[in-house]
Each structure stands twice: as C-alpha cells, then as structure tokens.
Amino acid sequence: MASQSVFLAVPEPVQAKASTALRVAIVGFGTVGSSVARILSDGGFPGLELTHVFNRNVDRKRASWVSPSVQWTQDFNEVLESDVEVLVEVVGGLEPARSWLKAALQAGKSVVTANKQLIARYGRELSHIASQNECQLLFGASVAGGVPVITAVENGLSGDQILSVCGILNGTCNYILSKMEEGQSFSDALKQAQALGYAEADPTDDVQGYDTRAKLVILARVALGAELCLEDVPCSAISNVVPVDFEYAHDLGCTIRQVGEAHVTTGHAFATVEPMLVRRDSPLARARGCENVVITRGKFAGSTAFSGPGAGGNATAVAVVSDLVTLSENRSVATVHAAKKFDKAKDCVAPYYLRFIVKDRPGIVASIAAELARFEINVDAVFQKPGYDKSHLPFVITVEACSAAKLAAALREISRSDFLVEAPLMLRIFGQ
Amino acid sequence: MASQSVFLAVPEPVQAKASTALRVAIVGFGTVGSSVARILSDGGFPGLELTHVFNRNVDRKRASWVSPSVQWTQDFNEVLESDVEVLVEVVGGLEPARSWLKAALQAGKSVVTANKQLIARYGRELSHIASQNECQLLFGASVAGGVPVITAVENGLSGDQILSVCGILNGTCNYILSKMEEGQSFSDALKQAQALGYAEADPTDDVQGYDTRAKLVILARVALGAELCLEDVPCSAISNVVPVDFEYAHDLGCTIRQVGEAHVTTGHAFATVEPMLVRRDSPLARARGCENVVITRGKFAGSTAFSGPGAGGNATAVAVVSDLVTLSENRSVATVHAAKKFDKAKDCVAPYYLRFIVKDRPGIVASIAAELARFEINVDAVFQKPGYDKSHLPFVITVEACSAAKLAAALREISRSDFLVEAPLMLRIFGQ
C-alpha cells in the first residue's frame, strides 16, 4: 500500500541533437513574443537559439533577462537579411504580417506563426510559397493556444478520416456566457471581461464570432481537408442571448456556449459559428473561463476531445516553441493541406430552440405553431416559466430537427406578428 | 440567422505524395490487425500498401475483402526476407514479439506497434536498434488507443516542460468502478464486464493495475523523459474498493477511479497506479465506460487534457495507421527518448481517505486518532453514515496531506487492533 517508485538508471547516452542550433527571430515582442523569449531563455532547448528580436520602437522593449548576444532591431530588413533560419511571427493582423512572411519564405526562411486571421485567409498561399522555397510554415499556435490540436489531428489522427470538428475556441465568449449563466446581463459580463483583460476594448471579433471563425477555418483545412471561404461561414453573435435563455436551457439539460462547428458529408462541407444549446454533461459545456475544447469525430475511431488553456502568453508560446522544436528536429512537415472537392452545403438540419418575448394575449402559441406547421416544422415542446411580466413575457418552443433555412423563413413570417416585443431568438440544439 | 456555408474551389494542385507507396506487413490478424487491414483497404491512404499478412494457421484468417495481391503467410521469415518496409506488430506479449521486432529492425524495417508491455519493458532497447539501423519504431497505439496523446506530447507539447502526467488508462477498470458506483459489487461488475467482452477471463492485468502501469511507464518516458522500471511502480488493485466507499467518496465531492500518475520534481521521479478519490468535476471522473483520459501539466502552459476511445479494434487501428502515415511522409522521428537523471522519489505526500470496517464499541475513533497522532498524521474529518450493522460498521477518516509511507506504517499498527473486521482501505485523494 505504501507508494514508492524507483528510477532506473539508463546507461545509454542521450541521443545527440543537431550539432548547430536553429537560429530564431521573434517578430513582435508583446505578450506572446516575450513569453517565447522567456521559454527559449530557460535553458531547456539547446537546439534553439534566439538571435534577433524585432519590434517597432524596439528600445522600450529591451529586456535584461534576454541573452546579450540577441540583436534588437526595428528594421525588418535586418532580420530578413540576417542568417536567421526561422521567424516567429506574433505581431498579428493581415498587414504588414502577410508581406513580411511572404518575403521571409521567399528568402527560404521558415515561419512559425500564431496569426489565426492571416492563416485562415492566406494560409494556403503562404504554404505554397514555403513549399516552393523548401522551407516550412507552421501555425500550431493559431488555434486553441496551448492545446496541441493541430499537431494531434495532423499526426496522431492522420490514420482516421475526420468527418466533423467542433469546439469552444474563444475564451472571451466562454467567460461572458459563464457569467450570464450566473445571472449577469451580457453588457455587465462584457464589462467584467474587459476589466479583467479577457476582452478587448472593441470586442467585436470575439462576440460576433469572427475569432472563432478564423480558427474553425484552419481546423476545417487541417482536419477535414475542406478549404472554406472565411466570409461564407455564417456567424451569429452571442449578444442576443439573455439570462432567461439559460434558465430554459437548464430545463432542457443544456447550457449555452459559442460553438464553432464544421462537418463534411458525401460531397458537401458545412460550417457555422453560433451560440448553441449544448448538453450540460458534454465536454463543450464543461469548458471553464478561458479554456478551449476541440472535439473531432472520425469515421473509424469516433470522438476524441482535446482541452486546455486556449489563450495567454505562455500557452500560446508553448505552441510556438513546439513548432520550433519540430523544425529543429528537421522533420519535413507537409505544409500544403490537400483540399478535397466539396460542394457548399445548402442547409443545416438540426433541432432548434426558439425563444419569444411577447405582450401576452390568448392564442399566441397557436398562432406560432400554425406558422411553423405551414413550413412543415414540428413543435417538440413548449416551455413557459411563471413569474414574468405579461407585457414582456418570455417563452420557449423547441422544434424537432428541421431545415435551418426553412425555420428562419418561418420566423421571418412570425416576426411580423404584433404580439412580439422583440425579434425571436433561434439557437441550434447541438447533437452529441 | 440562416446557416449556409460555401466551399471555396481551390485552384492549386494537391501536393504530390511520394511516388511509391510504403509497403506494409500486418503481423497478427486479430481484432486490431484486421481493423488496420480494413482501414488500409478503404482507399483513403494511397501512400500505404498492404503487401503481407502474417498469422499462425493463416488459412483460417484469409479475408475476401483484402486485396488479392496481399500475401498471407504463417512463416515470419517470409515477411522478414520480403521487400516489406514496415511491420505492424499487433500480436502482443513479450515473446516472440520482441525477437521478431529485433530481427525486423536489424533488417532495416521500421516497426509500428500497439504492444504496451513490450514497449514499456524493452522500448528503449528496440529504439536503439532502430536508431542504429536507420529505421523507426513508432508506438502511438500502445497508450490510450485512439487518443493521440503520444503524438500530442512528443510534438505539440514539446515546447513545454511537462512536470506530471496522469490518466484513466484502463477501460475495464473504469467500467467496473462505474458499475460499482451504481451499487454493484466488484465481483458482479467484473462478471458483467467479462460477459460484455470488456474484461478478459483472467482479469489480473487490468484489475491489479499492470495494464495501466505499462502505459504509464511509456507516458513517463515520452512526456517526462523519465525511464521508470516497470516492477518498481507500485500498483494497488481496485478489488479492495466496496460500494460503500463510493457513498463516502460522494460526500467528499469525489468518485473513485483507477488512476495512473507520474510526476517529476527537482531531481526526483515518482509514479504509482492506484484507485484514488478524484473530484467529480475533474476530467478523470468524467471518463465513461471504456473512455481513456490523459492529463499533462506543463511548467509553462498548465494542464492539457486528451480523451477518447481507449480501446477497441478501430480506435487502436487508427493510431497504428496514423503512425504508418507518419512513416510514409518520411518524417525523421526521434525515437530514442532522452532520459533525464532522476533519483527515486522516496514517498508520496498527499491527503488520504481511510476506510475502516469494525465491530463497534466505544473508543475506536479515539484509538485510531491516537495512533495516527503518534505518526504525526493530522485527521481532517471523520464520517460515519447511519444504518449499518454494528458488528460490521464502516466509517471513514480523512487525513491531511502526509507521507504515504508513514501512513502505511500507522495503519500496520492500527491493523493489530481487535476491533477491525477487515484490513483498512487507504485511498489517495487526488489533487487537481
């Protein structure tokens, strides 16, 4: 019963590393960039040598804990013309990042980046340039921070045929929705997230789903082999969800989360970013705070889930350094993902949650049910909690699996009704 | 609100694969072997060509759905002397597997294996032979079936310094403990697991923790760089747990799971396989049926969790085929894991759950508490549920974090007491 373990002395010598270390430049010395520098300065990676740090107004960035041999510069050309072998791009944004990375790859320098918007939009272009110039473009840090889902899917699940991928990919939305579940309004939860530094001053990218969408497009490329056009993945904001929706969701055994989901069926690809009802016992519901979760479903092995810190300098920096280690071990990574031919999927078929806020009077449910029936949509259940003001009365109708397009058309008709106080909310009930 | 996504036609050609497919032999055509053959026959892997199947009495194994070009043989030398480039070893056991793999590696043929006992015991030896002969030994399928934790740790988390790894690594034990949580006895739950094919006729390897131990030793090698001696990792059987332990565990916000855990601290390595109390909201508690869960904790990125199907032909076969894909893409994988120098950790310091079954009389708790105090162990709480027979009365004492060795010594003293009906049970309360 006593617990004691013994370490076996190993006589064999440790395998020799490459004789010369990989020369690395960090481009952008913000939160992630400085975390990368700290990890590289920690002594655990003899195969990696930080030689350059680029930043605008670099003088205010110089850090005494970085090796004195590192060159600090505010001239990108100095990095480009140096003997650096890999650029770590952590400046973010589309330009000048795209131009810089094209120039670096054309000069035969590999690139490791955490820039999700750039990779979602121009990843294939950049990968082709890398391929043509016999260097590499790695972007493990662009999705889910410290959760190594890109690597796991590319290598560890390459023997399966992945049919769908979904996830909680935005910690800010997850934080806000968690707080709303505790009863806060959207605006209060957002303010709190901003005060804690979880949300930007302009939260549009997070709240509207654009951040999740970029990550989903990258995941779809890597996991499904589907090249999705960023603008054509529909996004619904979480700001239309109100606290009463959580009460009704709980009655259905669910909670509400911003989910990015992409799947392929015979010949078709489909992707969307929406607040959805997810079962409370699902891994998606269990993501806490800024945690990210990704679930893949394969033809052969079924579902696999990955979770961990989705944001933060250190988590993202670990993903960057892992890619650097991959490069330093001279693995020839296939960087151009095969894009299978898919047609656009016209529609999503799923059960839905519909929440109405009405000025109460007799016959409202009958009127809505009749309109739904006209579109051949079957009502599953009607829920109405007591204790609300009759002039601003929330109630919920769930409908059986139906075409989202048909349901949206039915809701457009219903929206003309004079009993509605505000537009109805339509949330997909996410299947396991 | 309508959901519709568009697939962007991609003009660039798909990157060319290697011109010739990797020639693969499957050694052992049981559940996993035939699943591997099915996946390879599915048409999704043009870079892999199944050329040989080895099995004893091979004639009874011949399958019509396998390409007629495949050679079926019961003579291992025929595989060894063929132009096969990779052997998939799915026969299990130490011999003849070890001899066969040594011969294959010495002949310059790479090996992909799911054989956890072989890799736990002789993995370093075989990796060295592979390294000397410029071929590869991959064993992603040896731990957690379809959960790509080996790959994720080796590649995706290589930029971190992993300090601990723990997991639910045996589906049989997880199934049995789940059933016991519902009130079944150990023996009934075991019989049910055997009837469903989840447990072997001889369940020793699972129940005693030897199966989990092998996987833990492999994980410790890959994730922690610690080479543990298999026999020196202590294992406690789950068969001493009784249903009442789940009742007390629930009162503590916990459930009971067989956990494998290894960690390193400054200069020391520690590993153990035991039934432990785990918090009900932890990923370890949420593993259902045969699901496996692995959690790593890194110095920089914190905790990352991986979960999915831990057993079954298809899940394990996906892990095998993923390793084959890695080989076919000619990635030079570092197969000899650096073993850092660790001394054996003498002890585990943790809070513990102690369950006693006694013939009741006044002064028992005082007597036990006095003995614990003599060993400088602090009682945290005492729990005694009503309604039990006084001649066979279960009650629980939890103790604050203490040395497991000291606690075991105290329990040896306490075990001499005449009020004990059976030996006390000591379960570690696992920290998050």
Q: What CATH number is associated with residue B127? A: 3.40.50.720
Question: Same domain for B266 and B247?
Answer: yes
DSSP A379: E
Q: Does B123 touch chain A (CB under 8 A)?
A: no
The residue type of B119 is I
Question: Domain check: are B267 and B402 in the same one?
Answer: no
Which one of B215, B299, B359, B385 is the catalytic residue?
B215
pLDDT of residue A432 exceeding 90, the answer is no
Q: Closest residue of A to B140, CA-based?
A: A156
**In a shared domain, residues A120 and A202:** no
| Residues A256 and A275 grouped into a single domain | yes
The average pLDDT across B248-257 equals 96
The reply to whether A338 falls in a domain is no
Single out the residue in A255, A289, A308 at which a domain terminates. A308
**Domain edge (last residue) among B83, B113, B142:** B142
Buried b (16+ CB within 10 A) or exposed e, A384-408: eeeeeeeeebbbbbbbeebbbbbbb
Helix (H, G, I), strand (E, B) or coil at A36: helix
Instruction: Examine residue A6 and state whether it is found in any structural domain, yes or no.
Output: no
Chain A nearest-CA residue for B42: A161
Most confident of A406-415, B18-27, B144-153, B341-350: A406-415
Q: How many CB atoms lie within 10 A of CB A267?
A: 11
Model confidence band, residue A191 (pLDDT cutoffs 50, 70, 90): very high
Q: Cβ atoms within 10 A of the Cβ of B95, count? A: 8
Q: What is the CATH number of the domain that holds A226?
A: 3.30.360.10
pLDDT of residue A14: 39
Residue of B nearest to A43 (CA): B161
Structure tokens at B272: 């153990």
Quick one: closest CA in A to B267, which residue? A7
Query: Residues 6 or more apart from A215 whose CB is under 8 A from it?
Result: A116, A120, A142, A143, A144, A167, A169, A170, A260
Residue B425 confidence (pLDDT) above 50: yes
Judge whether residue B303 has pLDDT over 90: yes
| Token digits of residue A244 | 């009463």
Q: Which of B308, B340, B370 represents a domain boundary (last residue)? A: B308
Instruction: Please tell me the distance in Å from B130's CA to the nearest CA on chain A.
Output: 13
Please tell me the distance in Å from A173's CA to the nearest CA on chain B: 19
Chain A environment of B331 (Cβ under 8 Å)? 331-333
Cβ of B329 and A326 within 8 Å?
no
**Shortest Cα distance, chain B CAs vs residue A319, angstroms:** 6
In a domain, B323, yes or no: no
Rounded CA separation A150/A222 (Å):
7
ipTM of this complex: 0.86
Interface contacts A/B by beta carbons within 8 Å: 313
Tell whether B194 lies on the interface with A, counting CB pairs under 8 A: no
- Which of B7, B301, B347 comes nearest A315 by C-beta? B301
Read off the tokens for B202. 């001889």
Same domain, A182 and A237: yes
In angstroms, the CA B185 to CA B180 distance is 6
Determine what percent of chain A falls in helix, strand and coil, rounding each to the nearest 5: 35, 25, 40
CA separation for the pair B143, A200 (Å, rounded): 41
Examine the pLDDT at A81 and tell me if it is beyond 90: yes
Q: Kindly state whether residue B294 falls inside one of the protein's structural domains.
A: yes
More confident residue, A131 or A1: A131
| Share of residues in chain A with pLDDT > 70 (%) | 93
- Residues contacting residue A230 through CB under 8 Å, at least 6 positions apart: A120, A121, A213, A214, A217
**Side chain identity at residue B351, one-letter code:** P
Closest listed residue to residue B294, CA positions, set B193, B224, B207, B200 = B224
| Interface check A279 vs B, CB under 8 A | no
Residues B229, B275, single domain; the answer is yes
Residue B354 lies in a domain: yes
> What are the tokens at B406?
């000291």
Encode pLDDT of B38-63 as tens digits: 999 988 899 999 999 999 999 898 88
CB environment B54-88: b (16+ within 10 A), e (fewer): bbeeeeebeeeebeeebebbeebeebbebebbbbb
Number of domains in chain A: 3
Residues B130 and B159 in one domain: no
Nearest by CB to residue B346, choosing from A4, A324, A408, is A4
Chain B residues in contact with A2 (beta carbon < 8 A): 234, 347, 404-405, 408-409
Average pLDDT, chain B: 90
pLDDT in tens, B103-162: 999 999 999 999 999 999 999 999 999 999 999 999 999 999 889 999 899 888 889 999
Rounded mean pLDDT of A87-115? Answer: 96
Short-list A114, A51, A31, A123, CA closest to A312: A31
Task: Give the CA dihedral B298, B300, B303, B309, nearest 10 degrees.
Answer: -60
Q: What is the structure's pLDDT at A19? A: 52
In this structure, are A81 and A159 located in the same domain? no
Beta strands A393-403 and A379-383 are: antiparallel
Q: Is residue A339 part of a domain?
A: no
With respect to residue B334, please indicate whether it lies within any of the assigned structural domains.
Answer: no
Both structure tokens of B304? 């990352």
What's the confidence (pLDDT) of residue B198? 82
* Distances A155 to A163, A202, B320 between C-alpha atoms, Å: 16, 37, 11
Q: How far is CA A327 from CA A136, A150, A332, B420, in A?
A: 8, 15, 8, 61
Which residues of A fall within a CB distance of 8 Å from B302?
146, 308-309, 314-315
Q: Is the predicted pLDDT of residue B335 greater than 90, yes or no? A: no
Provide the residue type at B6 as one letter.
V
* Mean pLDDT, range A323-342, rounded to an integer: 72
Whole-number pLDDT of residue A154: 87
Do B404 and A2 make contact, defined as CB atoms within 8 angstroms? Answer: yes
Q: Do B332 and A334 touch (CB under 8 A)?
A: no
Residue A95 in contact with partner chain B when CB distance is under 8 A: no
The total of other beta-carbon atoms located within 10 Å of residue A381's CB is 12
User: CA-CA distances (angstroms) from residue B244 to A190, B229, B254?
Assistant: 45, 35, 13
Share of chain A above pLDDT 90, in %: 75
Residue B252 in contact with partner chain A when CB distance is under 8 A = no
A343 touching B (Cβ < 8 Å) = yes
Q: Which two tokens stand for residue A339?
A: 């894009």
A163 and A292 assigned to the same domain:
yes
pLDDT confidence band for A408 (50 / 70 / 90): very high
Give Cα B432 to chain centroid, integer Å: 19
Question: Would residue B142 be called left, alpha or beta, if left means φ above 0 and alpha means ψ between -120 and 50 degrees?
Answer: alpha
Residue A247 falls within a domain, yes or no?
yes
Whether B1 sits inside 8 A of A339 (CB atoms) is: no
Task: Provide the pLDDT for residue B6.
Answer: 41
Pick from A5, A17, A232, A261 the residue to mutate for testing the B interface (most B CBs within 10 Å): A5
Find the mean pLDDT for residues B359-386: 94
Alpha-carbon distance of A390 to A397, in angstroms, equals 17
Neighbour tally for A339: CB within 10 Å = 22
H helix intervals, B66-223: 76-80, 97-106, 116-132, 149-151, 171-181, 186-195, 204-207, 210-219
Give catalytic residues of A, as residue numbers: 215
A327 reaches B (C-beta below 8 A): no
> CB pairs under 8 A, 24+ apart, for A238-242?
A238/A173, A238/A176, A238/A177, A238/A186, A238/A207, A238/A209, A238/A275, A239/A186, A239/A207, A240/A275, A240/A425, A241/A177, A241/A180, A241/A186, A241/A275, A241/A425, A241/A427, A242/A180, A242/A185, A242/A186, A242/A394, A242/A425
**Which residues of A are less than 8 Å from B304 in CB distance?**
146-148, 306-309
Q: Does B345 touch chain A (CB under 8 A)?
A: yes
Interface of A with B in 365-384 (CB under 8 A): none
Measured between beta carbons, which residues in chain B are less than 8 angstroms from residue A325?
155, 158-159
Percentage of chain B surpassing pLDDT 70? 93
* Among B residues 227-246, those touching chain A with beta carbons less than 8 Å apart: 227-229, 232-234, 236
Q: Which residue of B has its CA nearest to A144?
A: B304
Instruction: Kindly state whether residues A137 and A163 are assigned to the same domain.
Output: no
In this structure, the answer to whether residues B288 and B363 fall within a common structural domain is: no
CA-CA distance, A49 to A40, in Å (whole number)? 7
Q: How far is B12 from chain A (nearest CA, A)?
A: 9
CB–CB of A401/A349 below 8 Å? yes
A100 with A123: CB under 8 angstroms? no
Same-domain pairing of A164 and A296: yes
Query: Which CATH number do you get for residue B368?
Result: 3.30.70.260
Q: Which domain holds residue B418?
A: 349-429
Check A158 against B322: CB less than 8 A apart. yes
